[in-house]
Amino acid sequence: MKCPVCNYHDSRVLDSRPVDDDASIKRRRECPMCGKRFTTYEVVDTVPIDVVKRSGKHEFFDKHKLMLGIQRACQKRPVNAEVIAASIEAELQNSIVNEVTSHDIGEMVLKRLRDIDIVSYIRFASVYREFTDIDSFMEEIRSLSKGRPRKPKKSAEAKTEEKTEESGEGTKKSAT
C-alpha cells in the first residue's frame, strides 16, 4: 500500500480487525520511510447488478429500494424485510449474471414471503401482479390454498374438552 504522505511504494501492517459485521477489514499501517501511520479499509469489490424494469429502463440494483417495497407489504406483520432484501441481494451477487429483470426480483420476493407470511405475500402480490379486481385476489388465494394444507378449525366442543382435560376436571379418579 502506497503511503499517502511520502508516496513510498510499501507500508507495514500494524493491526488488522474486522468491522461492519465482518464485511470489511480495518488495517492500521505505518510507512517505513517517513514513519507516518494511516488506516485502510479492505472490502469485497462487488459487481453492480443491472435491473431491467418493465418499461425497458435500466438501473442499478438498490437493496434499500427493495426493502422499502417489502416493508410496505409487511406493515404490522411479523416479517423482517431487511433479512429478505439481504438474502435476495446475496443471491443476486452470488449468481453468474450481472443483469436481472424486475420481474425476477419480484418472484424472488414472492417466493420468500409465501414461506414466511401469507398476508404479506397477498399484499405484495396485489401490487406486483397488478390485481385489478376482487377476482384477481380470489384466484391468488385459491392457488395458495391448493398448495397448502388447511389447518382444521377446532369445534366449540373440542375446545371445551381440551380446557377440561388441562384443568383436571372431568377425569375419573379411582378410590383406593
Confidence (pLDDT) at 156: 47
What backbone phi and psi angles, to 5 degrees, belong to 79? -125, 135
Confidence of residue 176 (pLDDT cuts 50, 70, 90): very low
**What is the predicted pLDDT for the residue at 174?**
47
Mean pLDDT in residue range 68-73: 93
Transcribe 88-142 into DSSP letters. HHHHHHHSS-SEEEHHHHHHHHHHHHHHH-HHHHHHHHHHHTT--SHHHHHHHHH
Q: Considering only CA atoms, which of 57, 47, 53 is closest in space to residue 66? A: 53
pLDDT score of 125 = 87
pLDDT digit string, tens, across residues 27-65: 999 999 999 999 999 988 777 899 999 899 999 999 999
Provide the pLDDT for residue 12.
Answer: 93
Q: Mean pLDDT of all residues in the chain?
A: 83
112 C-beta neighbours (distance < 10 Å), count: 21
- Which range has highest mean pLDDT (20-24, 25-29, 162-166)? 25-29
